[in-house]
């Protein structure tokens, strides 16, 4: 925990420095349906170490598969070249020499040895006594030490061990405490702790084994992983285990972003995390894992910096009355003001101001009324729609599209790649292109990219997110709403298309985006 240092006749609190171990590539991959390719693991590990600046990364479990071995070798080669091999950790087992050899062959230098932290697990799963298990562990530690490897120890099911068999936990620790083990890692394997219990158990460990480095590994079964992590730090724990987006077994682990901000803002603890990169690594893991981030997920969710109620926007205009320390710029994001039936004039004014549009109070009132009507129909209104709504409501001439889709054909055949052939008019000039792709929409976009690259010598915006929604009920003729988020230089655009055909809806959203860029 934090310590007090004497300065003259007074004392000042010294904030603790907490190590962060990211387990996304090991425990996070135990999320149902998640499996990372070797190159994906390398990309995630690189971003976590280089950009996010976590202290350590647990990248795999030993002896799982040849693909896993390839991934660990790639990551270890990268880490060795960049001087960070001691930051790469692999989960190993009490299996004689097998896990140690597997990790050593991959180039790894750190084994996180999984041992049994409760009598129930030791006796019923291993069919061994405490002393037999301890003897097996010591042999693995000695062998790893002979290979020049560092050893950390997981006491699996530690929380239940402290609850039901503390004498077992202490007995095992007493056998291990004077070995070369660098860190003792205490998992709440089944997520049974609450913060009060966590404080109680952690303080007992620290009192009995002062000076030892303890990590805490939370699970989120009771939605208390972040709270328990803070409780562990308050009790003197020196390291925390997290995963990006809270991925992990069952309900997952403590989310990296949430743990970081609560440590910094609520406890003033110090870490090495670069908060401006948290959103980037979250999106990368979302893409590779296929597990979508909830829109209201703290820090990284799509909606967490979006004010919906008009009174909030009004308060922000009057000295940021509805803001806290979690300002979006801190995480490389910006505050937005939703457009819908709850918007109110203040929300509209904020969006108009950002677009550089000036309206009279009466005009703003009429635009607000139209947006409210659209919201009542459950239609999504984005900032990019606002100029068109203004033009329609105020009966101005709607600006003529500078990018027009004159004709297109997309087709797909069994055993062949989808094909797209398009004709577009851009600023009065007509262009044609053909392309294949991994899907009909991908083929269409590749054809467009070819025109922008070869004929216009211009870059084409990057697709940052693609979301499709359909009404429930299973009707095959239902309207599909496709919302696409684009990254254009430093600007983020969001456009939508509506059609009974999903590909057509995506094409409409794409053409709308290109017209916004031309304007």
Which residues participate in catalysis according to the annotation?
26, 156
Alpha-carbon distance values, 203 to 14, 16, 66, 209, 311 (Å):
19, 16, 41, 10, 46
Q: Which residues pair with 239 in a beta bridge?
A: 19, 215
Going by the DSSP 8-state scheme, the letter that residue 385 receives in this structure is G
282 vs 247: CA distance, rounded Å: 11
Q: CB neighbours (10 Å) of residue 105?
A: 13
- Identify the burial level of 366 via C-beta atoms within 10 angstroms of its C-beta, where 0-12 means exposed, 13-18 middle and 19 or more buried: middle
How many CA atoms are closer than 13 Å to the CA of 208, on its beta-carbon side?
Answer: 16
Which backbone phi and psi does 134 adopt, to 5 degrees?
-60, -40
The separation between CA 267 and the C-alpha centre of its own chain, rounded to angstroms, equals: 23
481, 496 Cβ separation under 8 angstroms: yes
Measured distance CA(386)–CA(287) in Å, rounded: 29
Spatial contact of 445 and 452, defined as CB atoms under 8 Å apart: no
* Three-class DSSP labels, 341-407: CCCHHHHHHHHHHHHCCCCCHHHHHHHHHHHHHHHHCCCCECHHHHHHHHHHHCCCCCCCCCEEEEE
Please state whether beta strands 462-469 and 480-488 pair in parallel, antiparallel, or not at all (unpaired). antiparallel
SS3 317: helix
C-alpha to C-alpha distances, 236 to 21, 206, 231, 265, nearest whole angstrom: 16, 7, 9, 18
Instruction: Give the β-pairing of 183-187 and 214-217.
Output: parallel
The structure tokens listed for 491 are 């600007």
- How many CB atoms within 10 Å of residue 127? 8
Measure Cα distances from 498 to 291, 461, 506 in Å. Answer: 25, 21, 8
Residue 177 burial by Cβ neighbours in a 10 Å radius (0-12, 13-18, 19+): middle
Query: Which pair of structure tokens corresponds to residue 290?
Result: 């296929």
d(CA 355, CA 345): 15
DSSP state of 211: T
Q: In the beta sheet, which residues pair with residue 185?
A: 154, 215
* CA 502/CA 286 separation, integer angstroms: 22
């Amino acid at each position: 925990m934090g310590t007090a240092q004497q300065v003259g006749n007074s004392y000042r609190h010294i904030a603790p420095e907490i190590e962060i171990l990211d387990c996304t590539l090991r425990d996070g991959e135990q999320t149902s349906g998640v499996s990372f390719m070797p190159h994906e693991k390398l990309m995630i590990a690189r971003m976590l170490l280089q950009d996010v600046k976590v202290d350590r990364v647990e990248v795999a479990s030993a002896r799982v598969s040849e693909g896993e071995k390839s991934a660990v070798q790639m990551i270890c080669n990268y880490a060795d070249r960049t001087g960070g091999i001691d930051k790469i950790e692999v989960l190993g087992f009490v299996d004689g020499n097998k896990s140690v050899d597997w990790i050593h062959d991959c180039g790894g230098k750190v084994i996180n040895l999984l041992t049994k932290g409760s009598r129930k697990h030791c006796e019923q799963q291993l069919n061994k006594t405490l002393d037999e298990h301890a003897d097996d562990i010591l042999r693995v530690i000695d062998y790893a030490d002979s290979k020049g490897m560092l050893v950390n120890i997981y006491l699996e099911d530690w929380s239940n061990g402290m609850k039901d068999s503390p004498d077992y936990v202490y007995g095992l620790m007493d056998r291990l405490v004077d070995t070369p083990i660098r860190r003792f890692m205490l998992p709440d394997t089944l997520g049974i702790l609450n913060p009060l219990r966590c404080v109680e158990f952690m303080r007992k460990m620290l009192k009995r084994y002062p000076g030892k480095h303890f990590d805490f590994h939370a699970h989120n079964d009771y939605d208390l992983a972040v709270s328990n992590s803070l409780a562990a730090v308050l009790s003197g724990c020196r390291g925390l285990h997290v995963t990006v987006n809270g991925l992990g077994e069952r309900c997952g682990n403590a989310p990296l972003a949430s743990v970081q901000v609560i440590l910094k803002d609520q406890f003033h603890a110090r870490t090495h995390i670069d908060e401006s990169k948290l959103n980037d690594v979250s999106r990368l893991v979302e893409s590779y894992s296929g597990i979508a981030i909830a829109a209201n997920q703290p820090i990284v969710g799509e909606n967490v910096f979006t004010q919906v109620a008009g009174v909030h926007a009004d308060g922000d205009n009057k000295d940021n009355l509805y803001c806290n320390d979690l300002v979006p710029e801190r995480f490389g994001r910006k505050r937005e003001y939703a457009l819908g039936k709850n918007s109110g004039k203040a929300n509209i004014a904020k969006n108009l101001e950002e677009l550089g549009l000036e309206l009279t109070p009466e005009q703003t009132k009429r635009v607000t009324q139209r947006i409210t009507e659209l919201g009542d129909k459950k239609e999504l209104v984005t900032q990019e729609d606002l100029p068109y709504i203004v033009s329609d409501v105020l009966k101005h001439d709607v600006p003529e599209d500078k990018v027009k889709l004159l004709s297109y054909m997309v087709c797909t055949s069994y055993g062949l790649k989808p094909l797209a052939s398009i004709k577009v008019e851009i600023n009065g000039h007509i262009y044609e292109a053909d392309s294949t792709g991994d899907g009909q929409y991908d083929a269409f976009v590749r054809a467009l990219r070819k025109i922008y690259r070869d004929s216009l010598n211009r870059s084409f915006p990057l697709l940052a997110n693609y979301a499709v929604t359909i009404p429930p009920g299973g009707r095959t003729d239902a309207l599909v709403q496709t919302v696409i988020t684009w990254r254009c230089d430093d600007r983020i655009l969001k456009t939508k298309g509506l059609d009974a055909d999903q590909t057509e809806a995506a094409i409409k959203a794409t053409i709308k985006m290109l017209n916004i860029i031309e304007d």
